[in-house]
Amino acid sequence: MHKTINEATLRAALTERGWTQAQLAKTLGVSPQSVTNWMKGVDFPRPASLLKMATTLQRTFDQLVQTEDEGKPVVAFRKKGGTKTTAAHVSKAMGIGMLLKPLVPYLPQVQVLRTLITSPSTDYAKLQTATLQTRNRLGVGDQAALGYEHLISEFKNCGTVLVPVLWGAKGNHENALHIRLPQEDVTFIFLNLDTRLEDFKFWMAHELAHVLTPELAGTEQGEDFADAFAGALLFPKPCAEQAYADIARARSAGGALTLFSRWAQEHTISVNTVYQQVRRFALASGFPGPKVDEKAIHAVRNTVSGPLISTLLFDPAPPGADRYIASATHAFQSDFFVALRQMIKEQGTGASYIQQILESTIQDALAIHGALNH
């Protein structure tokens, strides 16, 4: 068991009092760096400091301290806009994570040496270096459009199991679910295929960032880095620099919007991703930002969208169990159903297990079970 300070609880308590971390440090008689280390989970306060902190902030030990079990799954969501992650969502995802543990022995042996980003940073120059290195590793040029297909082998090389699912375009809280099993050193990423292509690519790039920085999984810092990494990977500096030059020559805001949309279409990404990367390039270079209202960008974003991944993969849709399993296994290079088939044959695992781990209907679970058991 490893104990850390509950960062969210401590931040909330400081906000209630209008305190900074430095003020808390002064009250407790410790250095500001000590409080910073507690917040990051690098260090844990001595008993006397913990007691004084609990008394001062009027919080119980249970509220201030979280105990991390090394075998406990680490979960993260990619949510639909405006939704909130509740305790029920987390509990359900943790339950799926625990159910996945018996499946791990049936997965192929994964390589021990994997590519990692050892010093993740949202600093513009460092981020560009990391993303361009990733593009080089994938064999994709600096200005080429990056397809989600390019990312699939990278996930597999990093010991990640992709699990494509059909959760519906509007029905589910999460569009992607990330479950890391630290003890088993395996990550499962559930990807909703009922998603627009431009969003799907961003989510895959976001999830790849999590896989390349496992120590940040489940943290706000990890989410910030993953979003920054995804945008830079899909539209790196060479693209942003060229787009900035084009847009700077536009004679009107309408003309600039047209150019933003054109770049987005060429790379099959959202117009907002292009806008944000051009804006960040300008800021890092000391240039004026694009003269386009961000609200106009979002208005375009909300009216223009590409096809669903499920539509591109399955025609007609929805697919039968055999076609769905074949697509997951071959198009996404996933060992998930290969392992599940072996588990069913050796353990006699039933359809209810499939229903729980895929969050599917019992009818779909029965069909998948039948396809794997024949």
The domain boundary residue, chosen from 17, 37, 68: 68
124: in domain? yes
DSSP-assigned states of every residue in 192-248 = ESSSBHHHHHHHHHHHHHHHH-GGGTTSHHHHHHHHHHHHHHHS-HHHHHHHHHHHH
113: in domain? yes
| Structural domain boundaries enclosing 270 | 237-303
Q: Are residues 222 and 241 in the same domain?
A: no
DSSP-assigned states of every residue in 270-328 = -HHHHHHHHHHHHHHHTPPPPSS-HHHHHHHHHH----BHHHHH-SSSSPPHHHHHHII
Q: Are residues 197 and 182 in the same domain?
A: yes
Q: What is the mean pLDDT of the chain?
A: 89
354: in domain? no
- The label of the residue with tokens 């459009």 reads 145
Q: Are residues 98 and 184 in the same domain?
A: yes
Q: Are residues 97 and 150 in the same domain?
A: yes
Weakest-pLDDT range from 46-60, 99-113, 176-190, 221-235: 99-113
In the chain, the percentage of residues whose pLDDT exceeds 70 is 93
Q: What is the pLDDT of residue 209?
A: 93
Task: List CB contacts of 180: < 8 A, sequence separation 6 or more.
Answer: 73, 74, 75, 186, 187, 188, 214, 217, 218
Task: List CB contacts of 150: < 8 A, sequence separation 6 or more.
Answer: 138, 139, 140
373: in domain? no
Q: What is the pLDDT of residue 125?
A: 97
Q: What is the pLDDT of residue 334?
A: 95
Tell me how many domains the chain contains: 3
Please write the tens of the pLDDT for every residue from 283-311: 999 999 998 988 999 888 888 677 899 99
β-strand pairing of 160-165 with 186-192: parallel
Please write the tens of the pLDDT for every residue from 72-131: 888 877 655 555 666 677 778 888 999 999 999 999 876 556 788 988 999 999 999 999
Q: Are residues 188 and 123 in the same domain?
A: yes
Q: Are residues 289 and 146 in the same domain?
A: no
In the chain, the percentage of residues whose pLDDT exceeds 90 is 60
The domain boundary residue, chosen from 286, 303, 320: 303
Please write the tens of the pLDDT for every residue from 150-195: 999 889 888 899 999 998 865 554 577 899 998 888 999 999 999 8
136: in domain? yes
360: in domain? no
Higher pLDDT, residue 358 or 40? 358
Q: Are residues 209 and 150 in the same domain?
A: yes
152: in domain? yes
Q: What is the CATH number of the domain that holds 49?
A: 1.10.260.40
